[in-house]
């Protein structure tokens, strides 16, 4: 039977949807994959805090035509793609088809998602989609499928895939795969694996012959889940609805994945390991050696709890190019709110290790800002910690707190009467935030590499007394930054002028 799978994300990686496609193909179904990236949304010229994707009507028409003989259409959605999901579903819905939604948004908030589509998937989608397609093909009204909640039916039984090593390798087509080109407005078929050069992430690295070279990055999943349970994270819900344990893909399976990358995409030189806490794998040392022996460098996310000196040495030896660590906060009260007190404990030693032994290694530290429970003192606590301890090549990733439905933090927000816009972007962009605190600007000063002495001066009491006030937070700072951006856009002749 013919099935179409649609991914609106601005990266066409979509490991989950490709895995679903591979399972469906293995069962003999014809699968078509459509990727609809809108890269300009990620650009610094976009002023919307939400993902207001306005796909042209012509694209929706083309997609409708392309999917007209698919009896099942699947969409992958993160929370910030809720509106996009509704738009695509309206465009593709026909009397005879079934439109299924899966991904982080329906998993976290199925009760909301189900009001806009036929069926939602909670958690793993491979077996669920295979069963859905087979029931529809058999001509029965689909029902009673683990993880799938049908409109008007009872909440389903939930089941995680135990052995994720046994899943087929992700589907990269290229036959039957289409990618939307925002520049030309066309939905372009992929003809060869080489076409992926236009879509994989590229990054600069020092070349062996001196100077810099551009290399391609491939996103890889080696496990599902996280050993931690931060109160704001999707894992906080996944532990309830999917699996409490971290499911890992074994080394043999990883070797097959790495071989596939090398064979299909010889231009890829860097593997981006997307696992939530890669270093929690017991066999992490063997795996990074395998990555190195396969001819790749890599980047990965590390939790401060799983990063001993010996382990860091092994990562660096085997080709780590950037060390990304989630800190989120160092303020004790906020660490407790996020359930990260124990997890963050190792961060001082880790920073010290990098400062002493690997001063040239970039260390990207993820932080959460815009937390409505934090006081100025809490914000300064984390800032001062970074000013004191951040290694020389430390970089800062600033993310606004998004309170996702059904997480523990969401429950607290509801109890405390705090409203939250769950479908907004996390990445902090200075010109698209509705509120900007002065302390956030000071974080930003550190992020862009202003001398730490100057940053300390900017966070001194007189400045805080003058600027850390509602008038500046809600009005003066955000309005001024947007005005600067708008003026610059008009003067530089940019087409999209923000509202
Ligand atoms: C890799 C990754 C990215 C990559 C690539 C995204 C892509 N196109 O694939 C990049 C860096 C681009 C990215 C960006 C963002 N990401 Co991201 N990302 C991830 C990460 C680390 C892994 C995703 C993954 O591949 N998982 C493995 C696969 C197997 O799982 P899966 O995707 O959930 O798919 C399974 C099920 O959900 C289900 N399923 C999925 N789709 C469908 C469809 C159907 C029809 C069915 C039936 C089932 C189904 O079946 C799949 C297989 O079992 C996750 C965290 C995580 N561990 O999942 C965050 C995560 C998905 N990202 C998140 C966020 C917030 C973002 C951003 C919005 C952040 C921002 N900038 O503000 C951006 C914006 C995205 C954009 N513009 O495209 C959040 C989403 C939270 C939410 N409630 O939506 C997550 C969960 C991280 C987190 N813990 O907060 N991300
Ligand atoms: S460590 Fe990261 S991925 Fe794991 S639960 Fe906490 S925030 Fe989520």
Model confidence pLDDT, tens digit, residues 404-447 = 999 999 999 999 999 888 877 777 777 678 889 999 999 999 99
Q: Give distance in angstroms: CA of 276 to centre of ligand 2.
A: 6
* CATH number for domain 200-491, candidates 2.60.40.10, 3.80.30.20, 1.10.340.30, 3.40.800.10: 3.80.30.20
- Whether 233 and 147 have beta carbons less than 8 Å apart is answered as no
- Whether 17 and 74 have beta carbons less than 8 Å apart is answered as yes
- Tell me whether the omega of the peptide bond preceding residue 174 falls within 30 degrees of 0, making it cis: yes
- In this structure, the residue with its CA closest to atom 17 of ligand 1 is 78
Range(s) within the chain of domains with CATH label 3.40.50.280: 2-177
pLDDT for position 48:
62
- d(C-alpha 358, C-alpha 351), whole Å: 10
Average pLDDT over residues 346-369: 94
CATH number of 2-177: 3.40.50.280
**Mean pLDDT, the chain, whole residue set:** 93
- In this structure, the residue with its CA closest to atom 2 of ligand 2 is 276
pLDDT for position 249:
98
Exposed e or buried b per residue across 439-465, where buried means at least 16 C-beta atoms within 10 angstroms of its C-beta: bbbbbbbbbeeeeeeebeebbeeeebe
17 CA: nearest ligand 1 atom? 41
Question: Based on the number of CB atoms within 10 Å of its own CB, is 66 exposed (0-12), middle (13-18) or buried (19 or more)?
Answer: middle
Identify the band that residue 211 occupies on the pLDDT scale cut at 50, 70 and 90.
confident
Residue reference for tokens 């063997």: 286
Range(s) within the chain of domains with CATH label 3.80.30.20: 200-491
pLDDT in tens, 90-149: 999 999 999 999 999 999 999 999 999 999 999 999 999 999 999 999 999 999 999 999
- In this structure, the residue with its CA closest to atom 44 of ligand 1 is 102
Residue of 14, 15, 38, 399 with the most ligand 1 atoms within 8 Å of its CB, for mutation: 15
Q: Give distance in angstroms: CA of 113 to centre of ligand 2.
A: 24
Q: State both tokens at 150.
A: 């049908």
Helix-strand-coil percent breakdown of the chain, rounded to 5? 40, 20, 40
Q: Which of 25, 21, 49 is nearest to 35 (CA)?
A: 21
109 CA: nearest ligand 1 atom? 83
Exposed e or buried b per residue across 16-35, where buried means at least 16 C-beta atoms within 10 angstroms of its C-beta: bbbbbbbbbeebebebbbbb
pLDDT for position 176:
97
Residue of 326, 397, 402, 403 with the most ligand 2 atoms within 8 Å of its CB, for mutation: 326
277 lines ligand 2 (CB under 6 A): yes
């Amino acid at each position: 039977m013919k099935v179409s799978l649609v991914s609106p994300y601005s990266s066409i990686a979509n490991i989950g949807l490709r895995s679903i496609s591979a399972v469906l193909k293995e069962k003999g179904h014809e699968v078509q994959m459509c990727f609809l990236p809108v890269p300009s949304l990620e650009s610094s010229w976009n002023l919307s805090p939400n993902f207001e994707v306005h796909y042209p009507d012509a694209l929706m028409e083309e997609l409708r035509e392309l999917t007209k003989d698919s009896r099942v259409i699947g969409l992958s959605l993160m929370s910030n793609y809720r509106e996009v999901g509704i738009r695509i579903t309206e465009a593709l819905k026909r009397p005879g088809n079934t439109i299924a939604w899966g991904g982080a948004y329906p998993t976290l908030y199925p009760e909301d998602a189900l009001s806009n589509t036929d069926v939602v998937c909670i958690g793993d989608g491979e077996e669920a989609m295979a069963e859905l397609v087979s029931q529809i093909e058999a001509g029965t009204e689909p029902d009673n499928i683990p993880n799938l909640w049908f409109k008007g039916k009872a909440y389903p039984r939930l089941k995680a895939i135990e052995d994720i090593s046994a899943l087929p390798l992700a589907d990269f087509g290229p036959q039957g795969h289409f990618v939307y080109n925002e520049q030309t407005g066309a939905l372009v078929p992929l003809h060869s694996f080489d076409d992926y050069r236009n879509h994989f992430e590229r990054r600069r690295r020092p070349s062996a012959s001196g100077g810099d070279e551009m290399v391609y990055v491939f996103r890889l999943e080696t496990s599902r889940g996280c050993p931690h349970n931060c109160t704001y994270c999707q894992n906080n819900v996944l532990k309830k609805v999917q699996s409490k344990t971290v499911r890992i893909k074994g080394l043999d399976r990883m070797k097959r994945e790495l071989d596939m990358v090398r064979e299909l995409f010889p231009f890829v030189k860097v593997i981006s390991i997307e696992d939530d806490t890669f270093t929690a794998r017991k066999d992490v040392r063997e795996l990074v050696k395998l990555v190195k022996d396969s001819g790749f460098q890599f980047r990965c996310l590390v939790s401060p709890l799983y990063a001993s000196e010996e382990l860091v040495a092994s990562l660096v030896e085997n080709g780590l190019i950037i060390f990304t660590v989630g800190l989120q906060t160092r303020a004790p009260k906020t660490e407790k709110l996020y359930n990260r007190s124990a997890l963050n404990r190792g961060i001082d030693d880790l920073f010290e290790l990098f400062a002493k032994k690997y001063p040239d290694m970039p260390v990207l530290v993820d932080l959460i800002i815009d937390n409505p429970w934090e006081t100025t003192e809490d914000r300064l606590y984390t800032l001062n910690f970074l000013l004191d301890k951040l290694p020389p090549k430390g970089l800062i990733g600033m993310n606004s707190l998004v309170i996702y439905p059904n997480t523990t933090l969401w429950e607290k927000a509801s109890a405390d009467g705090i409203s939250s816009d769950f479908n907004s972007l996390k990445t902090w962009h200075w010109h698209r935030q509705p509120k900007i605190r002065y302390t956030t600007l000071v974080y930003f000063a550190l992020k862009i590499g202003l001398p730490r002495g100057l940053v300390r001066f900017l966070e001194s009491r007189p400045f805080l007394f003058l600027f850390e006030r509602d008038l500046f937070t809600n009005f003066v700072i955000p309005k001024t930054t947007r005005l600067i951006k708008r003026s610059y856009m008009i003067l530089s002749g940019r087409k999209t002028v923000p509202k």
